[in-house]
Amino acid sequence: MKNKPNTTTLQTLSLKLGISVSTVSRVLNGKSEKYRISKKTQEIILNAAKELGYTPNQVARGLRLNKTNTIGYIIPDISNPFFSSIAQSIEKFARKLGYLVLISDSEESTDIESQTIKIFQERKVDGLIISPVGQEIDHINQLKANNTPVVLIDRFFPDSNIPFVTSDNYNGAFSAVSHLIDNGHKNIACIQGLHDTMPNIERVRGYREALKANGIEVDENIIVGNSFGEANGYIETKILLKRKEIPTALFAASNLISLGALRALKEEGLNVPDDVSIVSFDDQPYSNFLATPMTSVAQQSSEIGSIATKILIDRIESKREFESHGIFLPTKLIIRKSVKNIKS
């Protein structure tokens, strides 16, 4: 037999105390001042509420106020530490501001992403943070039409006016590749992430520009890959190593890519940095403890998360429209041991 769960409502209190529901509501919502409820009544209500273990029903409240104090976060891969630390900061920050976060992993699928947006709307989330798969935008634009505030993280759409928070991927890549060049490298391969996503486009652009700035010709044959995942890093490295002239250095567009590259290198019995140098995007707690501590481009993931949350909630509460199009956070090149100086 199921025992009835605690189901003390405003009614229960009202009936029990012979005080109207509205008064009870007002007191329990801290509006005693505003309505000048007598101290006595306040006390009675507060006591009874505590005694009966009154728990406000936020679902009812949400329906009435058309405000759920919930935001949704759609994330392409929770288990990727870059994203999980963003998720952490979003949740923490949102909670501080009185919001809960519904999370959903899109598994890098636009379909799931689109589906989830719909579901989140049915749930009446007050706003949405999305780290989009990144190649389609229609389903996201449709939120605009629906007047649901959205903020994008990491991947964004330069031609739309949806606000976003991301890293300065261009300069991050530029400094990484420059570092390689400064150490005498010329034959530098680029293992890129998902094509047509802004972070990837910007990272590759940074790569190209760094080469050009140093008078090195860009060789399209060694700009390879099409995913931020580990497998991509592995496969492309395997193939790169079969070239007549093996690149002396690798620029990896993500932490997972460099892990895959490491796996391939190891299999082929090649050493970092003696045989091949690497610089990778995304710094991780383990980066310093790898076989060769990895020189990497650190992103400010926590800050990205909290800034996005702040912008979103400001819009929800219409404290202000976020006027600028997007925010780029600086990255930082952390130099370790994975780059060998091969200047003759």
Partner DNA sequence: ATGAAAGCGCTAACAG
Partner DNA sequence: CTGTTAGCGCTTTCAT
Where on the chain is the footprint of a copy of itself (CB under 8 A)? 2-6, 55-60, 62-63, 68, 70, 77-79, 81, 84-85, 87-88, 91-92, 95, 100-105, 107, 118-119, 121-124, 145-148, 230, 256, 259, 262-263, 266, 284-286, 288-293
For residues 148 and 135, what is the distance between their CA atoms, to the nearest angstrom?
A: 21
Nearest-approach distance from CB 235 to a copy of itself, in angstroms: 16
Q: Which is nearer to a copy of itself, 91 or 236 (CB)?
A: 91
Query: 43-75: b or e for each residue (b if 16 or more CB lie within 10 Å)?
Result: ebbeebbeeeebeeeeeeebeeeeebbbbbbbb
Q: Which of 1, 3, 4, 38 binds DNA (CB under 7 A)?
A: 38
Q: Please say which residue, 75 or 222, places its beta carbon nearer to a copy of itself.
A: 75
Total site size for DNA, rule CB under 7 A: 28
342 binds DNA (CB under 7 A): no
Name which of a copy of itself, DNA, none residue 285 binds, using a CB cut-off of 5 to 8 Å depending on partner kind. Answer: a copy of itself
Q: Does 36 bind DNA (CB under 7 A)?
A: yes
Count of CB atoms situated within 10 Å of the CB of 277? 26
11 binds DNA (CB under 7 A): yes
Handedness of CA 201, 206, 207, 209 (dihedral sign): positive
Q: In this chain, which of 41, 110, 115, 160 binds DNA, going by CB under 7 A?
A: 41
Contacted by 104, from a copy of itself, DNA, none: CB < 5 to 8 Å by type: a copy of itself
Partner whose binding site includes residue 19, from DNA, a copy of itself, none (CB under 5 to 8 Å by kind) = DNA
Q: How far apart are CA 80 and CA 88, in angstroms?
A: 12
Kindly tell me which of 40 and 242 has the beta carbon lying closer to DNA: 40
Task: Please provide residue 169's backbone torsions phi and psi, each rounded to the nearest 5 degrees.
Answer: -65, -35
Q: 């649901």: which residue's tokens?
A: 148
Give the C-alpha separation, 219 to 189, whole Å. Answer: 8
- Residue 238 gets the label, from left (phi > 0), alpha (psi -120 to 50) or beta, of alpha
- Decide if 186 contacts 196 (C-beta within 8 A): no
In angstroms, the CA 205 to CA 249 distance is 17
Binding partner of residue 87 among a copy of itself, DNA, none, CB under 5 to 8 Å per kind?
a copy of itself
Q: 83: buried, middle or exposed (CB in 10 Å: 19+, 13-18, 0-12)? A: buried
**Cβ neighbours, 10 Å, residue 81:** 17
Selection from DNA, a copy of itself, none that 81 binds (CB < 5 to 8 A by kind) is a copy of itself
**41, 19 in Cβ contact below 8 A?**
yes
Please work out, in degrees rounded to the nearest 5, the angle formed at the alpha carbon of residue 313 by the alpha carbons of 108 and 69. Answer: 90
Give me 87's structure tokens.
Answer: 């998720």
Beta carbon nearer to a copy of itself, 22 or 288? 288
Judged by CB under 7 A, the stretch of 61-69, 125-133, 166-174, 175-183 that binds DNA is 61-69
Residue 65 touches which member of DNA, a copy of itself, none, C-beta under 5-8 Å by kind: DNA
Q: Considering CB distances under 5 to 8 angstroms, the limit depending on partner class, which of a copy of itself, DNA, none binds residue 28?
A: DNA
Contact partner at residue 252 from a copy of itself, DNA, none, CB < 5 to 8 Å by partner kind: none
286 near DNA, rule: CB under 7 A? no
Record the tokens describing residue 70, joined without a space: 């919930």
Contact residues: DNA, CB under 7 A: 7, 9-11, 18-23, 25-26, 28-29, 35-38, 40-41, 56-57, 60-61, 63-66
